[in-house]
């Protein structure tokens, strides 16, 4: 009897427990869901946010390239535990817009995908929002061609000097880009190169300037430019330049009745500084009479003795006519 009494007492208790559990069970389930939602909400709001900007990588297949402007930076917002997300670096995340599946020219739109690496893989929880969330891009057939490199020289060399030439190494760079942009381009400029105050040759390494951000110049990042600078050459005319007659043998004399031309006009060339400072001396221009061996008329050239650096461009007259007669030896005695 006692055993039966204990069994009869236990069964009603179990039934009461089950009745309590399932009594108004819908309301209880709703309360549990609300509690979980509230817990998740308060936990989510306890997480920190950190902004981060990363380069936006555009991927196309080998036959096509971007032909329209597109954002170069993706702005991210990282949400997670404060210490964990602050340890994430730019190199741990990559933003990618992949147009590789499109094999025809046109304008296409794809979502921006975030790839986690390094520290970002280890962080949990981690929520990442990205702006822009998608990218619209026009793609065109890829064209490659060589472009001639032209140095962008500007400024004035030092007074008395002039630019005489330049060489570029390499002379051209391989460029590639959309056919509609690159087809009409044949040359590319370097970064500006100043000539201000330069008075001698120099060599400099400069970058090639991209005429359009959609055109790339391959691996030729730096160009060597060699600039040649020389003293400026100018010309100066001198009139009424005296001519000396020298070397006539003693047995001859110049005719007093027909005197030779005693002055000429000359044009000299040379560096500006030197020629502007030059003054003609009395013996710089002469006629050599030492080879005369007979009386009569002789046409002889006018000779010039000039300092190094100056050249005789022209002389008028270039020759002179001299009349030689015997010297009166008896009269001289």
DSSP 294-329: SSEEEEEEPEE---TT-EEEEEESSEEEEEEEE--H
Cα angle value 212/213/217 (rounded, 5°): 85
> In the β-sheet with 285-288, what is the strand arrangement from edge to edge?
244-246, 285-288, 303-304
Q: Residue 167: enclosing H or E segment and its boundaries?
A: strand 161-169
CA distance 205 to 168: 10
Residues of the chain short of pLDDT 70, as ranges, are: 1-46, 219, 329-333
- pTM beyond cutoff 0.75: no
Report phi then psi at 260, rounded to 5.
Answer: -75, 160
Sign (positive or negative) of CA dihedral 114, 120, 122, 127: negative
CA distance 241 to 117: 87
Report phi then psi at 22, rounded to 5.
Answer: -90, -5
CA distance 33 to 308: 104
Cα angle value 145/212/218 (rounded, 5°): 45
Report phi then psi at 63, rounded to 5.
Answer: -90, -10
The CA–CA distances, whole Å, from 88 to 47, 48, 112, 197, 331 equal: 15, 13, 19, 51, 117
* SS3 call for 85: helix
Structure tokens belonging to residue 156: 């004035």
CA distance 206 to 328: 79
DSSP codes, 194-234: E-TT--S-EEEEEEBPPSSTT-B-TT--EEEEEEEEEEPEE
Residues in the chain: 333
**48-132 and 142-231, same CATH topology:** yes
Q: Residue 37: enclosing H or E segment and its boundaries?
A: helix 25-45
Closest CA to 214 of 248, 180, 186: 180
Map out the domains of the chain as residue ranges.
48-132, 142-231, 234-332
The pLDDT, as a whole number, for residue 262 is: 85
Enter the CATH code of domain 142-231: 2.170.120.40
The CA–CA distances, whole Å, from 51 to 41, 88, 161 equal: 21, 11, 56
CATH class of 234-332: mainly beta
The pLDDT, as a whole number, for residue 217 is: 86
CA distance 146 to 320: 61
Long-range contacts of 253-257 (CB under 8 A, 24+ apart): 253/324, 253/325, 253/326, 253/327, 254/322, 254/323, 254/324, 254/325, 255/323, 255/324, 255/325, 257/323
Q: Are 127 and 112 in contact (CB under 8 A)?
A: no
Q: Are 114 and 95 in contact (CB under 8 A)?
A: yes
Residue given tokens 């902004």 in the structure block: 51
- Dihedral of the alpha carbons of 166, 168, 171, 176, in degrees to the nearest 10: -120
CATH topology of domain 48-132: RNA Polymerase Alpha Subunit; Chain A, domain 2 (2.170.120)
The pLDDT, as a whole number, for residue 18 is: 54
CA distance 85 to 257: 112
The pLDDT, as a whole number, for residue 7 is: 47
């Amino acid at each position: 009897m006692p055993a039966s009494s204990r069994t009869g007492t236990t069964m009603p208790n179990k039934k009461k427990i089950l009745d309590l559990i399932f009594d108004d069970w819908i309301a209880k389930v709703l309360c549990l869901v609300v509690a979980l939602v509230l817990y998740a909400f308060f936990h989510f709001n306890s997480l920190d946010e950190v902004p981060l900007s990363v380069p936006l990588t555009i991927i196309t297949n080998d036959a096509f390239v971007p032909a329209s402007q597109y954002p170069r930076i993706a702005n991210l917002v990282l949400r997670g535990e404060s210490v964990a997300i602050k340890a994430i670096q730019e190199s741990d995340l990559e933003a990618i817009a992949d147009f590789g599946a499109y094999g025809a020219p046109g304008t296409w739109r794809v979502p921006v995908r975030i790839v986690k690496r390094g520290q970002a893989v280890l962080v949990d929880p981690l929520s990442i929002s990205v702006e822009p969330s998608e990218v619209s891009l026009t793609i065109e057939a890829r064209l490659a061609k060589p472009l001639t490199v032209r140095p962008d020289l500007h400024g004035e060399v030092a007074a008395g000097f002039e630019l005489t030439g330049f060489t570029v190494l390499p002379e051209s760079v391989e460029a590639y880009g959309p056919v509609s942009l690159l087809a009409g381009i044949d040359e590319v400029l370097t970064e500006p190169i100043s000539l201000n105050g330069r008075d001698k040759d120099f060599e400099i390494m400069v970058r090639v300037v991209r005429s359009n951000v959609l055109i790339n110049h391959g691996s030729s990042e730096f160009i060597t430019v060699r600039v040649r600078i020389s003293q400026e050459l100018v010309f100066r005319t001198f009139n009424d330049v005296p001519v000396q007659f020298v070397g006539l043998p003693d047995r001859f004399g110049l005719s007093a009745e027909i005197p030779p031309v005693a002055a000429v006009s000359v044009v000299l060339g040379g560096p500006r500084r030197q020629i502007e400072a030059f003054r003609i001396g009395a013996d710089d221009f002469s006629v050599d009479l030492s080879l005369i061996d007979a009386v009569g008329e002789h046409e002889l050239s006018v000779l010039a003795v000039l300092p190094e650096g100056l050249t005789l461009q022209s002389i008028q007259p270039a020759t002179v006519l001299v009349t030689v007669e015997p010297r009166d030896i008896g009269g001289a005695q």
